[in-house]
Homo-oligomer: A and B are copies of this chain.
Amino acid sequence: MTKIHELDTPAVLIDLDRVEANLRRAQDYADANGVKLRPHIKTHKLPLFAKRQMELGAIGITCQKIGEAEVMVEAGITDILLPYNILGQPKLKRLLTLARRASIKVTADSTTTIQGYSETFSGSGLTLPVLVECDTGGGRAGVQSPEEALGLARRIADSEGLRFAGLMTYPAKGMVAQANAWLERAKALLAEAGLAPEIVSTGGTPDLWHSNENQAATEYRPGTYIYLDRFQVQEGVGGFDDCALTVLATVVSRPTETRAILDTGSKSLTSDTLGLSGFGRIVEYPESAIVSLSEEHGIVDLTHSAAKPKVGEMVRIIPNHVCPVTNLFDEVTFVRGDAVVDTVPVSARGKVR
């Protein structure tokens, strides 16, 4: 049995027991609270885990890109939400092809997007379910008011080849109540107009344990909950001992008494701080700080760490944000404790389109 310290670095390690515990904890909570989960696969990008999420009770999955959905459909997943405005002929053609193989739902926040969907699906023999994306306070995409949502819902309902299927939002963190109020107003307006939404989809791992407060919602899209990370621990979603993804790195230099250099930089940890100080937590040296990254170097300040690593020593890092880390590695290694179980390709990695 290979041990993790026999691996080459940097490597992404996925602790299978923690993955299973994280998935079960969320699904149990969802079941107990009448919440339906539609996990976002952006965090793991692995068909194996998408299938496990379905087995445990998820009603479907979420993908952000057509390319991700193609990988998941190929692997046998049959219910996918793409919460994104899909624009342009190349993507619309692929969307139609996908919709012939699986149940695909999409979103729109403009008449331009709706028109593209309709031109693609009218005459195809298929009806595309379209949700209206709502900006309930997150400040990203989405219509700005329930009235606008109603306008687009009508437009979808009136468009050949399309069906109005509901509302979708990615709410601002910690603003569950605000998002809920917005969605309730929109639902009332839609119901009055005879367009009561079948689906109201919301999400976000930071508020996972408050998802039962989304009275307006019919489904929840958590992503990061499968692995957790330093940011989610700060948000109280779990503890460091629940973090299932670590980056295994080697100390390649100890130029001074208080400085260590790791062979993992922005090319493996990303520059995402998510507002945290430093670029990850070194499990074996929690008092140390990864103070800066260049592409292939992680610079560690050991000032506050009584223990100091040696050159050649391996350490494990809990990243600030695991999702972009997954996207940087062609493969990840499954482990149980210190034992290596398997190394698998990240088959939905790098799907930029």
Q: How far is the CB of A290 from chain B (nearest CB, A)?
A: 13
Closest B residue to A140 by CB, please name it: B297
In the docked arrangement, what's the CA distance between A261 and B64, Å? 15
In the docked arrangement, what's the CA distance between A85 and B352, Å? 33
Task: Decide: B267 and A352 in contact? CB cutoff 8 A.
Answer: yes
A78 interfacial by beta-carbon distance below 8 Å: no
A-side interface residues, number (CB < 8 Å): 59
Given A144-B256, A294-B140: A312 in contact with B42 (beta carbons within 8 A)? no
Task: Decide: B141 and A253 in contact? CB cutoff 8 A.
Answer: yes
Q: How far is the CB of A119 from chain B (nearest CB, A)?
A: 12
Task: Decide: B327 and A328 in contact? CB cutoff 8 A.
Answer: yes
Across-interface contacts of A142 in B (CB, < 8 A): 253, 255
In the docked arrangement, what's the CA distance between A141 and B285, Å? 19
In the docked arrangement, what's the CA distance between A324 and B270, Å? 9
In the docked arrangement, what's the CA distance between A110 and B352, Å? 40
Across-interface contacts of A267 in B (CB, < 8 A): 324, 327, 352
Across-interface contacts of A310 in B (CB, < 8 A): 112
Across-interface contacts of A140 in B (CB, < 8 A): 255, 261, 294, 297, 299
Q: How far is the CB of A67 from chain B (nearest CB, A)?
A: 10
Task: Decide: B109 and A353 in contact? CB cutoff 8 A.
Answer: no
Q: Which of A20-28, A86-94, A208-216, A229-237 forms contacts with chain B? A: A86-94
Task: Decide: A324 and B112 in contact? CB cutoff 8 A.
Answer: no
Across-interface contacts of A116 in B (CB, < 8 A): 312
List 5 A-B residue pairs with CB atoms under 8 Å apart, sorted by A's residue number: A42-B296, A84-B252, A139-B299, A143-B255, A295-B324
| 12 new A-B contacts at CB < 8 Å, known A11-B352, A88-B250 | A65-B296, A84-B252, A87-B252, A109-B255, A110-B254, A112-B310, A112-B312, A113-B252, A141-B255, A143-B255, A268-B352, A295-B324
